[in-house]
Structures are given as structure tokens and as C-alpha cells.
Structure 1
Amino acid sequence: MKALMKAALFAGAAWSAVPALAYAQTAEEPGVVEELVVTARRREETLKDVPVAVSAISGERLAATGAVDITTLQQSTPNTTVQVARGSNSTLISFIRGVGQQDPLWGFEPGVGLYIDDVYIARPQGAVLDIFDIERVEVLRGPQGTLYGRNTIGGAIKYVTAKIEGEPELKLKGQVGSYDQRDVVASAKARLNDMVGVGLTWASFNRDGFGKNLTTGAEHYNKDVSAARATLEFTPTDNLFFRLAGDVVTDRSNPRHGHREVPALNVLGQPIPGGEVLDDEYDTKAGSGDHNRVEARGVSFLGEWNVSDTLTFKSISAYRAGETEGTIDFDTLPAALLDIPARYNDHQFTQELQLLYTGERVQGVFGLYYLNATAAGAFDTVVGQANLTIATAGHVDTESYSAFADVSYDVTDQLSVSVGGRYTRDEKTGQVYRQNFTGLKSPLFGNATAVPGLVRSNFTNSDTYEKFTPRVSARYEFNPDLTGYVSYSQGFKSGGFDMRADAILTPTSVDGYQPEKVESYEGGLKGYFFDRRLTLNSAVFYAKYKDQQVTLQTPVGASIASQVLNVGKSHMYGVELEGVAKLADALTANFSLGYIKAEFDEYRALDLTATPPVVRDFADSRVFQNTPKWNGSVGFTYTHDLGDHGSIAFIPSASYRSSFHMFEVPSILDQDGYWLADASVVWTSADDKYRVGLHGKNLTDERYRVGGYNFPQSAGVLFGNSVTAYYGPPRTVTLSLEAKF
């Protein structure tokens, strides 16, 4: 409670700096901040009226600032990390308020839910979505265990596409830029008649590498992605609406092998020739290959029936599937000191039924949800100095059932209360196989001559996880321009089985790991000031984290002991502030600020360095990963009217993230605080049909880590002192051309 009071006082200080508010002008008057509409509670509401910490960014804004993909969200969204996963090009890792998942192995559940038009994306592979065919992105912070209950223990990211409306339109967009960037996006939409609408989008994103693979000559950190989306909408009556949508994304970019941060050492502790630290952070000497392919595809069907003026029924059916083939060279050297060839595949079917009620004083959402999913994969751990390969394979089958409800009641014209809850039941079956082979690669990856050895795991197990997660909130409208809210909510992330489980080193791993839970208390103020020339949204929060799932990989001899553990307890508290100010009719400023303090209260894990291994509490020496204490951003948009020649906008921005840790154990991979500076200049024709933009990203050419692997010599002498890091993009400049017909 003391911590929560500190956070509340911090937010109060921010609000006290604002003079007494004035009542609003009408939204149609010039010089006012735009009022945003979101669907955070599965129904359309203005951002000010939603008792949830939500950041909403329009597709128009993302395009104007030259945003490439959804990882740009972390620059302007408080207490949020959205990054490309280590060793990948299009696998997503997300953290919100200290809760997330860095390990994207199949079968692990993410801590932040990703949704495309209310369809849950169960697996992170192929989830780094490029910005195209989008109306807006919403980031919901804190547990969303009622309406977005599938593993939204940290929050949810919603990718929202627009309905097909208005006149027929063909849009062509091309981009060229640094590192021979070549992007093309073509989209068309039209109403064929009063009942049928069709939308088609095709995109190709290509770029040479930021660096080189000095062993093979291949581009490193390059981009080769193609994507397509098709939508068919059918409106047979005023009360019925149907949408059939399909999408596919294929990533053929070369593998990312990382950058060696320390010199390579052999088993005797001697330097390995050619194993020096390379000058360019984007270069590598990896020899495990240049083949990589990721494909993600899906189809969804939405049915919406307006039964009456107050009652709407929705059905959302979806099927998604994906495959990944690639390799990660942990040692980043030509020899196979520590190489990981891998392949994954997954598929999921989901069905959701919703009943929405909108009365004069009562509003509610009631629903049922079902998921049937399988995630499978295989990989080799090739340890060249021991002529050893550890083959690993397995799958996880999941059936999930949920029932949920959220009801709001307007007690008075100013006060409303909401009560909701979700019951979730997950049934999981995991199968894990792990075996030693003499030779480089196992039969799983084409080495038929490999000599089979010790079987380390070969088990199948099942478990069921159940949880009811409630949410209660109250919202008070102090006047038409200022609302406040308080809420209590719970989040739940399912348990499961470690696909790397080694039954010899960690026998209890065959039992799997249990769900983790978060209890969150939140309060916020949202309002307009100075005749709606300024909007501020703030939140303070305090959360208790229990049975936290942590992935550990500890070298033991020539093997690696993998553990997914429910380590204990922790707590987090913090403050979030966002705003937009209309400084003049032609000048707008937007800003954000996030502060979070996250600490372990208990961290009980097996100490494999002790003989015999014992369980002890590491809380005093463990930290939260991917959770900087401070983050913030500021940006400006200055628009100059050129009359019949259109308008030109100048959009500079800067964002800051304080130092953060890559893992729960501090290491040399931890990243110091850094700033990123961006700027865009955009010309738009008077009829809004043509647009030319020049976009500069990371203008100061900051080099900052976004991920890494840590296998130092002190932990495993056979792994070549492999401490490697992955870096965010360097300075780039892009010219974009867009035309509408």
C-alpha cells in the first residue's frame, strides 16, 4: 500500500501542474484534440470513457511517422516492450508492466495477448506485423482477464483493420531507402453493390542486411517478407453483417545469428583463431547456414446480427497455422561449437460467441470461447567440441474453454460501475523426446550416420488448469471533460510442459509447470483541458505476481538443463502518463511517460552449481527482464498549408528507455539507457490523393541491444564462451510515395 501511495502522489504531481480545466468546445470546432474511439471493452467507446489504461495509435499516424512494424509501439507506449525475438526476424516478444515472455519456443504461452480483429494469435512466430491495411493499434495495459482472457496476464495488443466503406479506392505505395530498401504495398477496396464489399492487399518488404555474414557472404539482418490479405464483406440487411478475411505472411529473410560480445575460447580456455569481437555489431561469422523460412496464415469469419436496438449477437470463427524452418548459431563462428537447427509448426481453431447489450443505463458483454491448438517442433543442440548432438522434439495439444461476462451499470449520470469475470479451463497434453547422438546433427536433421546414445527424455503427460479471473471497476465523470476510475482485476496464464525438459538432469520437469497469476489495482484520470486543446490520460497501478514462470537454461557438462519454474512471488508498481496538446492550429505535441518498479519477493529455484543440487531463494540477486524503470517519448507535428499545392508536415520525435536487464540474472548483455531520435517530412496533395514522405529513423545511429544469449565460459567450457547479442536497427532514411485512385 505504501508503494501504491508513492505512485499516486507521483501522478498527482503531474496533474497538479495543469491549471483548472475549462469546459469543452464542440468537437467540430478547429484547434481541438481529436476524440479517439476504441473497442477495448469489445464495444465502441471514447478513450476517455474506458476504465482501462489504453494507448490507441491510428494507422494514419503510424504511416505519417514512417512506422515499419508493431515494434514501434514501444517507443511511445508507457511501460511496454515490443521487440523482435532474439535469433529471429519475425517472432514477437512483448512485455507490459513487467509481464511477458522472452522464450518463443513452441508450447510456451505468451504473457501479452496479440489480436487481429478480435482473433487471438496463439503463437509468436510471424507475429511481428508490418504496418499495412490497418485502421489503428490498441495497447491495453494490465491484466485483461475478462474480455481478453486467453493469456492476457500482462495486457493485450489489438491490430484493428477497417470496414470497407466509402467510394472504391485503389492505393499504391512504394518505398526506397537505406540498405537498398524496396517496399511495395498495393491495396484495393470497393463496394460492389449495397450488400457486397471486397478488399485486397498485397505487400512486399525487401532490404539488404545491416551487416554481413563474413563466413558465407550472405546478408545479415536483411529483410525479405511478402504478405497478402483478402476481405469479403456481406451486408444482406441493415441488421446483418458478415466478414470473411484471409491473410498470409511469408518471411524468407536470412537467419539472425547475433554478434559475439566476448572472444571465443576453446575447452582449455585458449582463444579460438577468428573468434574475436567484430567491430560492426551487425556482422557475424556464423557457419550454421543461411536458410530461414517462416509462414503464418489464417482465415476468419465474423457474423454480426443486430437483434434489436439494444441487443447484438456476434460469432467469430478463425483458423490459423504456421511453419518455421531455420537455424540459430549461438557461437557465431564457422565451426559448430553451439549450433541450433530448428523447425516448428502450429495450428489453432478458435470460436467465440458474444452477446452485447446496450441499454439506457446498463451495458454488457457476455460470451463463450473455445480454442483447439497444437504446437510442435524439433531442434538439435550441436556441441562441436564434444562431437555431440542433443536431439529434442515434441508437441503440446491444448483445448481451452472459457465463459465470460462484463456488465456496466450507470448508477447516476456521473457514476458507473462494472463487474465482470471469466472462467477458463485449459486441458494440455505434452510429449517430449530428448536424446544424445554422437556426431554433428541428429537423424532429425539429416545425419543418418549419427550414433544414438543416452535417451534423456521420452515422456507424455497431461494436466488441466482452471481459473476464475474477476474484474471490478468504477468510473466517475467529474464533468464532461474529466473522468476518473479505479479497478481491481486478475490475470491468468496457463501452465504447461517444457519442450526442452531433461528428465535426467531435472526429473521433476516431467510434471510440467503451473499457471501464473497477477492481481492488479489501478486508478486513473482522463480528461481534456484548455477548450480541448490538451488531453491527458494517466494511471497508477500496483500488482502482485504469483507463481511466476521463468525459463532457465543452465549448462551442465556437455548438456544444458532447461527448467520452466514457478519461482515464487513479486510485486510491481508504477505510473503512466500520455497526452496530446494542440499548441497552435498548425502545431501538435504528443508525449508519454512510464515509470515502473518491479521486484522479486521470492525466487525459489534449483541451484545446479551445488553438489548435490538444492532449492534455494535467489530473490536478492534476481531482477526483472525487459522492464526499464523509466521510458518516455515526445513528438511534434507542424503542418503548413500550401493552398492549392496541398500541405506539408514536419514530424520530429524522441524516445527514451532507461537501462534494463536481458534476463533475471544480471549479465554483460544488459542494456544501458538510450535515446532514439526520428523525424519525418510529409507532403500531401490538396485532394489527399498523393503523398510523399521522407522518414529518418534512429538519426543518431544509436547501437542498442534488444536480446541475447548468455553461455559464458564459466558456465560451460564446451560452448565456446558464447555470449551473443542482437541489436536494434541502425540509422535509416526512407522515401515513400503513395497514390490513391
Structure 2
Amino acid sequence: MSYNNNTNVGRIVLMAGASLLSSAAWAQQEAPVALPQAEEALGLDEILVTARRRTESLQSVPVSVTALSNESLRAQSIQRVTDLTTTTPNLTVSNPNGSATSTIIAIRGQVQTDIISTLDPSVGTYVDGIYLARPYGANIDLVDVERVEVLKGPQGTLFGRNTTGGALNIITADPKMGEFSGLVRATYGNYEQTNGEVVLNVPLSDKISFRGAGQYAHNKGFAKNLFDGKRLGSDNSFSVRGKLRAQPADALDMVLSVSHFRVNQATNPQRLIEFEPGGIAEIYVGLVSGGTDDIANYVNLPFYQTSLGFPHKSYARATNAQLTSTLDTGIGTFKSIVGYRATDAHSSIDLDATPYQILDTRTRIKGFEQYSGELNLTSAAFNDKLVFTTGLFAFYESGNDGSSTIALPLFSPGTSDTYVDVTATSYAAYFQGTFSFTDQFSFTGGIRYSTDHKTMSPTVRNNVGTPLEACVLPIGFQGDNCRTTFKRRDNGVSYTAGLEYKPVAGILIYGKTSRGFRSGGFNQRGSTFIETFAGFEPEEVTDYELGFKSDLFDRRVRLNLAAFYSDYKNIQRSTPVALAGGAIGTIVGNAASGHVSGGEAELTVLVADELRLSGRAGYTNAKYDEYPYNQIDPLGVITVLDRSNEPFQNIPKWTLGGSINYNRTIGSGTFNAFIDYSYISKRYGLFGVRADDPDATAISASKVVMAGYGLISTRVSYAMDSGLELAVFARNLANKKYDDYKEDLVPFGLGLVNQQSAPPRRYGIEATYRF
């Protein structure tokens, strides 16, 4: 079956155009995170979320979701998506090795540790309703954000595409009609951190308003490269967004948004922490240096120092445009969301963490574009006993993704280059509704059907343009340009079903089950054998959850609990393998089955009007049930391994935290003091698999254990009635040294174990003027 890109785009445009002509919409309006309470009312503010694609109170939604307001993000000095790790139970957000512009998001044991374009993430990221298909450039600045919602568990119906683990829903501030307002913010901190932020809301007429936001961030870096004296861990980013909102009629609301994000970073330091005596790396350094140098000189350098002979940096830029139209009619609220995103990114990584070219790589994505259109209706029936949302979704993306590897050039001169052209088209239809039998008892059910079409056309060459040996073997490559095309089609049904019970006001008890579907894909980092390019199957997660939400003691105590169990089928897993020429690639395959169990607890207590305490806890226990794996060595020999006893990578068992917030009027202003503690238990980095010695796999895993760590963040501010606010802040106040990443290269013959250092203490001052 062939796929016509122009036809696919045309379908999306036609669908989007039809939805605009009908002024379609779903019902997420510009709603504040916290509703103001009457002066005589006490208790915690009501929090509004759109976890079910309509505006509802957090406490009435039968879904495990954490909502973070703009004020909460500011109090914790949250600047980027990766900073969200310290805010939510059972959530970790990190960078892949050497790519600080990308994200790896894990929720409840669901994670995908690779970021290739032929592999979809386990956790979906949405910005104002637009799905970000690729993690490249997804580590965006959270500038002028109204709130962030973390939805946990498979979002099989409403946020259905490739969200087997959950969804990160980012909602930016819409223009306010008839209001001239804004802010100017400046920040200065250690490591020459300088941030500037501007927000401006301007009414253009009674029916049109504009809101613009921009941010610039810079720091010189917290680590040093001894090889060239340059700094690592630096940051230079720029974000700008403009929104135009029009209300041509009382029932019609339209928002046009255009944004651009650019980041250029010298990534966190890669350090060599262990080597295998007599291994290839030690022999190679001796040969290249003529016996005058020893690899031991570069092992366990000070925590924020390294010696890299290859550039260690990453760059990304992304441009987004979307039109969101909302129309209230007699039959319900229609909404259309039409979006476009263009992304380019590249990075270079010194994997051996020495001045020598033992294993270095460059990655690049070029010309990646995505188009999406969604049309849905939120309405009610049967005298409002049934409230439902139904809709259609279409998506198309295309681009080029590639990598170039330098491995032991003394033995294998030149580079091994693999570049792939990829396309993906997805269509879906969904329905979800809640039927209230009584004021206390209700049922929620939903279903989504998805169909995904994907193609991959790889090109494999060496540095002088001569095809590799694989290209002349009868493995499907066509012509002199060493190129072929792989195609696949996956269909999936996702669903949700649950019961909700409200015994008294302020308490919700619910039980639900849901299924998430993540489409299959291809391996784009192939080598000399067709098996290394083979596809992998779709992944399915069936989740069971019991939850309890409550506002107690006149809404002075808020306690939310959830327990879950997930059956995990055809788990998509990335495994590093040795390739021809000494290179290392990552091959994605399917583990047969596994299960994840655990729970979350979130508690907020309003001790007094000025004092608020909160605590959070998450527990995740993830295990494989069956994991047969075909290990392919550089000569093409396949060995079947049992990997069911391996730990899940990058998944901590415990995520804990708590905060104290003191707020009081002093003089003509408001004093606020905030302190937060977060803890993440040990995790496993990337370890190797040894066919010749299964016990060596366990040894490899033990080498990449990242110890648990706790971080303290604090912010103290004073906001004057004049609009001026002054603040001091600190992240990692205790200056804890902890790992961002670990990788064991010993099983592949290189004899190296490397580590990436996370940032030390950051502190600074901040001035904000609001008008």
C-alpha cells in the first residue's frame, strides 16, 4: 500500500477547514487555576483543570492528576520542562545523554529512553491542546504558563495518541479581553545566570485582544572541560509567543497563537568513572599517544570537571502556529484545534569522556514538520444526566533524522553515517461520556479507534560516500545509493470505563480501568544486517486504578490518593548493541509482558490563613514477566536471551516531597516564604547485555545505579502594592551532587563506564514589576 504525503496533508487541511467553517471547539476556556473565594470563606482554593477536555474542578475529576499553577511553578523556580521532576509523585523528566534540548518523561513506570524519530514517547506532551510528537526541542521554557497538568496512567480516549504512561498538559495564558496589563522580570544568579522576561496584554478593540510573552535565559555553565578550558552545562535560550484573541460574536471565541523557541547549550559534563584494564579503550589510548598517556588519568576527575576532546553540545529550534476556535451552540460546545510545528535540532556527544576519539557521535534532525487537526463536541443529553465529548483527530509528520559515529578511527577510519527519511500519518475517532444515575453515583466510559501509517527510508554510508558492506548484501537495499523503504500500519482500540461515588460533599471515590495504545515503528540505527532495521510491534497497557479525593475540615485539608496496577504487553525497549566497525547502536524490540503497580498520595493542609503545608509521595514497582530477546552480534549471530530479571531503566521506586508556604501581609505589601524538599530513590542507567555471560548483564546494571538524592528549593519574596516584587531563590540549596545519567560500555568491548553530572546549587535574585 502506498501513501501520498500531499493527500495526507490535504485531508488534514480539509478537515481543519471544515471544522473552522463550523467554528468547532472543545470546552477548555481561559479559566484561572484558582477561583477567588469570598472574603468570609475559608479553606483551600478550588483548582480548575481540563484533564477530561472540559473545565472541571480538580477534586471532581476521577483521574489521578497533579495541577501546578503559574504561582506554584514560580515558587519552585521551575523554568523548563525538565525542572518538573521535583514537583509531582511518580514523575521524572530528564534529558537523554548529550541532548539537553530533548526530554525523556516517565510516569508510573512507563518510559521510552530513546528519542529516535521512528519511536514514539510513552508520555504525550501537549501545549494548548497540540500534541508534540517528537521530544527534540520539547524541553521548552515555561514562560507565561497558566498551569501544567500531569495526567497519570494511560489516557486512552481523550489524550489518546501514544500516551500509555500519561500526559503532560501545558496550558499557556490566553489574552484577556479589555485589559491592559503585563510584567517585566529580571533575574541574576551564580554562574552568570541572567534571565529576562516580558509579558504584555493589550486590548485592540472591544472584541480583539493581544498577548505577547518573551524570555531570554543565559548562564556560562557550572562545569569545566580541562581539555580546552571551556565551560559545560551552559545555557542560551530564547522564547517568544504571540496570541491574538477575537470574539466576533458572544458565542464565538478564536485564538491564534504563534511561538518560537531556540536553545543552544554546552551540555552537562560527561565523566569517565570506570574502565576495564586491558580493554580496547586502554589499548587504544596507549597506541594513539605513543605510550605517553594512560586512560587512568581521565577516570574520576572532580565531579564538575572532565576532559572531552569532542564537542559536547546541543541545539534546537522549534516554531509553532495554531488556531483554536470555540463556538457555543444550542447542541453543545464545538472546538477545533489546528496546529503546525517545525523543528530542527542537532547534538554532539563525547561518549568515551576522554580527549581521544574512542567513541564520538553526532545526531541531527532536519526539516521535521507536523500538521494536526482536531474537531470535537462537548455536550449534554437526557436532562444533563449525560455529559460527553466526541471528536475526530488527524496528524501528519515528516522529516529526516540521522547520526554520524566516529569509533576508533585508528582501526576504522572515517565515520559511519545513517540517515532516515520518515513519515507518519495518524487518524482517530473518540467518544467519552459521564452518566449520572444520581447526584452521588455516576459512570464514565469512552472508546477511541486509532490507525497509524509509518514509513522509513534509511541511507547507510561511510564517510567517503561508499556504501557499507551491508548495502551489497541481499537484504533489501536497492540501487547504488544504499536505500530502501520500510512501511507499516498499526490499528489500536483504547478505552476507559469507571464508576464514581460521592458519599458526601467534598469526597470522591472512584474506580476505573483504561487501555493505552502506542503504535509500532522501525529501528533507524541499523548496521550490516537487515534484522537491525526490523520493526517492532505496538505496545498496550491496561491499567486499573482506585482513587480517593477529599476536601475535609471546611476545605482546610485536601487529601488525594490513588493506587494502580498496569498490565504491560509488547513493551517497547531500547537496547545498546555492538555494531560493525566498533560502533554502538541502539535497537528497539518488544519485551513480551510486564506489570507495574504502585500509588500516589498528595496532601495539602491550611494550618492557618498564612501557613500552608503540603506533602506528596509516589511508589512504583515495575517488573518484566517475560522478556525473550534476540541478541545480534556484529557477525550476525543471533542468541536468544532471557532478560526478565532485569530492572526497568530510569524508573525510581520512590518519589517523595513536601513544602512549607508562609504568606503574610506586612506593611503595604505581601511577604512570602516557600521551601520545598524532594527525594528520588535510586534508578538504573543504560546497561549492556552480554550473550556470552548472562551474569555479566547483572554486573553491568550494578555499575549504572544512580543513587537516590534529595533536593531543597526555596524562594523568599516581598510584593508591594505598587506592583514591584523582589525575591531571592535557590535550587539544590544543599549543593547535592547527583547523577543525571550513567551508561556502561564495558559489554561492547570498549571497557568504559561514563556518567553525566547534574547541576550544583543555583541561586540568585529576581525583580518583577507588574502593571
* TM-score scaled by length of structure 1: 0.90
The answer to whether the aligner puts 1:327 opposite 2:327 as a matched pair is no
**What is the rounded CA distance, in whole Å, between the counterparts of 2:281 and 2:512 in structure 1?**
58
Task: Name the aligned partner's letter for residue 748 of structure 2.
Answer: A
Task: Name the aligned partner's letter for residue 336 of structure 1.
Answer: Q
The answer to whether the aligner puts 1:65 opposite 2:70 as a matched pair is no
**What is the rounded CA distance, in whole Å, between the counterparts of 1:283 and 1:643 in structure 2?**
47
Match of 2:748 in 1: 715
| 1:410-559 matched pairs, under 5 angstroms | 410-435=436-461, 437=462, 442-443=463-464, 453-455=468-470, 458-504=483-529, 507-556=530-579, 558-559=582-583
Q: Which runs of 5 or more residues in structure 1 are unaligned? A: 1-24, 444-449
**What is the rounded CA distance, in whole Å, between the counterparts of 2:40 and 2:528 in structure 1?**
68
**What is the rounded CA distance, in whole Å, between the counterparts of 1:86 and 1:663 in structure 2?**
10
Task: Name the aligned partner's letter for residue 566 of structure 1.
Answer: N
SS at match of 1:174: strand
Match of 1:298 among 313, 317, 320: 320
Alpha-carbon displacement from aligned partner over 1:684-711 (angstroms, at most 9, x marks no partner): 1135x12111111111111111223321
The 3 A distance-change label for structure 1 pair 503 and 512 is farther
**What is the rounded CA distance, in whole Å, between the counterparts of 2:280 and 2:615 in structure 1?**
52
Match of 1:286 among 303, 308, 322: 308
**What is the rounded CA distance, in whole Å, between the counterparts of 1:255 and 1:455 in structure 2?**
34
| 1:587-736 matched pairs, under 5 angstroms | 587-608=611-632, 612-620=637-645, 622-644=646-668, 646-663=669-686, 666-687=701-722, 689-712=723-746, 714-717=747-750, 721-736=751-766
> Do the aligned partners of 1:95 and 1:627 also contact (CA within 8 Å) in 2?
yes
| 1:178-189 matched pairs, under 5 angstroms | 178-189=190-201
**What is the rounded CA distance, in whole Å, between the counterparts of 2:389 and 2:588 in structure 1?**
36
> Do the aligned partners of 1:624 and 1:663 also contact (CA within 8 Å) in 2?
no
> Do the aligned partners of 1:31 and 1:584 also contact (CA within 8 Å) in 2?
no
Match of 2:236 in 1: 224
SS at match of 2:652: coil
The answer to whether the aligner puts 1:314 opposite 2:329 as a matched pair is no
The 3 A distance-change label for structure 1 pair 315 and 123 is same
SS at match of 2:627: strand
The 3 A distance-change label for structure 1 pair 317 and 474 is same
Alpha-carbon displacement from aligned partner over 1:61-101 (angstroms, at most 9, x marks no partner): 11122222222322121111111222112211100011021
Match of 2:25 in 1: none
CA RMSD of aligned residues (A): 2.1
The 3 A distance-change label for structure 1 pair 274 and 732 is farther
**What is the rounded CA distance, in whole Å, between the counterparts of 1:464 and 1:163 in structure 2?**
38
* TM-score scaled by length of structure 2: 0.87
Q: Shift in Å at residue 395 of structure 1?
A: 2.0
Q: Shift in Å at residue 333 of structure 1?
A: 2.2
Match of 1:11 in 2: none
The 3 A distance-change label for structure 1 pair 194 and 711 is same
**What is the rounded CA distance, in whole Å, between the counterparts of 1:477 and 1:454 in structure 2?**
67
Q: Shift in Å at residue 255 of structure 1?
A: 4.4
**What is the rounded CA distance, in whole Å, between the counterparts of 2:79 and 2:457 in structure 1?**
38
Q: Shift in Å at residue 267 of structure 1?
A: 2.6
Match of 1:243 among 250, 255, 263: 255
SS at match of 1:518: strand
Alpha-carbon displacement from aligned partner over 1:3-55 (angstroms, at most 9, x marks no partner): xxxxxxxxxxxxxxxxxxxxxx9865454111100000000000111111000
SS at match of 1:72: helix
SS at match of 1:145: coil
SS at match of 2:683: coil
SS at match of 1:157: strand
The 3 A distance-change label for structure 1 pair 268 and 135 is closer
After TM superposition, the structure 1 stretch with the greater mean CA deviation from structure 2, 628-637 or 663-672, is 663-672
SS at match of 1:412: coil
Q: Shift in Å at residue 170 of structure 1?
A: 2.6
**What is the rounded CA distance, in whole Å, between the counterparts of 1:580 and 1:382 in structure 2?**
52
> Do the aligned partners of 2:223 and 2:305 also contact (CA within 8 Å) in 1?
yes
Match of 2:375 among 353, 377, 384: 353
Match of 1:376 among 381, 400, 403: 400
After TM superposition, the structure 1 stretch with the greater mean CA deviation from structure 2, 99-108 or 131-140, is 99-108
SS at match of 2:83: helix
> Do the aligned partners of 1:260 and 1:332 also contact (CA within 8 Å) in 2?
yes
The 3 A distance-change label for structure 1 pair 176 and 214 is same
After TM superposition, the structure 1 stretch with the greater mean CA deviation from structure 2, 662-671 or 231-240, is 662-671
SS at match of 1:487: strand
| 1:22-101 matched pairs, under 5 angstroms | 29-101=40-112
SS at match of 1:281: coil
The 3 A distance-change label for structure 1 pair 409 and 452 is closer
SS at match of 1:596: strand
SS at match of 2:748: coil
Match of 1:565 in 2: 589
Match of 1:207 in 2: 219
Alpha-carbon displacement from aligned partner over 1:183-226 (angstroms, at most 9, x marks no partner): 00111012222210101112110001111222233220100001
**What is the rounded CA distance, in whole Å, between the counterparts of 1:154 and 1:161 in structure 2?**
23
Q: Shift in Å at residue 149 of structure 1?
A: 0.8
**What is the rounded CA distance, in whole Å, between the counterparts of 2:115 and 2:618 in structure 1?**
26
The 3 A distance-change label for structure 1 pair 190 and 542 is same
**What is the rounded CA distance, in whole Å, between the counterparts of 1:339 and 1:139 in structure 2?**
36
Q: Which runs of 5 or more residues in structure 2 are unaligned? A: 1-35, 287-292, 472-476, 478-482, 688-696
**What is the rounded CA distance, in whole Å, between the counterparts of 1:37 and 1:545 in structure 2?**
31
Task: Name the aligned partner's letter for residue 588 of structure 2.
Answer: V
Q: Shift in Å at residue 370 of structure 1?
A: 0.4
After TM superposition, the structure 1 stretch with the greater mean CA deviation from structure 2, 65-74 or 391-400, is 65-74
The answer to whether the aligner puts 1:102 opposite 2:117 as a matched pair is no
**What is the rounded CA distance, in whole Å, between the counterparts of 1:158 and 1:202 in structure 2?**
20
Q: Shift in Å at residue 167 of structure 1?
A: 2.3
SS at match of 1:455: helix
SS at match of 1:100: coil
**What is the rounded CA distance, in whole Å, between the counterparts of 1:612 and 1:88 in structure 2?**
32
> Do the aligned partners of 2:686 and 2:744 also contact (CA within 8 Å) in 1?
no
Task: Name the aligned partner's letter for residue 424 of structure 2.
Answer: T
Task: Name the aligned partner's letter for residue 738 of structure 1.
Answer: T
**What is the rounded CA distance, in whole Å, between the counterparts of 2:484 and 2:418 in structure 1?**
12
The answer to whether the aligner puts 1:124 opposite 2:124 as a matched pair is no
Task: Name the aligned partner's letter for residue 474 of structure 1.
Answer: L
Task: Name the aligned partner's letter for residue 715 of structure 1.
Answer: F
Match of 2:144 in 1: 133
Match of 1:258 in 2: 270
**What is the rounded CA distance, in whole Å, between the counterparts of 2:585 and 2:99 in structure 1?**
23
The 3 A distance-change label for structure 1 pair 29 and 386 is farther
The 3 A distance-change label for structure 1 pair 387 and 174 is same
The answer to whether the aligner puts 1:575 opposite 2:599 as a matched pair is yes
> Do the aligned partners of 1:459 and 1:510 also contact (CA within 8 Å) in 2?
no
Match of 2:422 among 379, 386, 396: 396
**What is the rounded CA distance, in whole Å, between the counterparts of 1:123 and 1:548 in structure 2?**
19
Task: Name the aligned partner's letter for residue 345 of structure 2.
Answer: T
Task: Name the aligned partner's letter for residue 366 of structure 1.
Answer: T
The 3 A distance-change label for structure 1 pair 268 and 192 is closer
SS at match of 2:730: strand
**What is the rounded CA distance, in whole Å, between the counterparts of 1:230 and 1:484 in structure 2?**
41
The 3 A distance-change label for structure 1 pair 349 and 611 is closer
Q: Shift in Å at residue 556 of structure 1?
A: 4.7
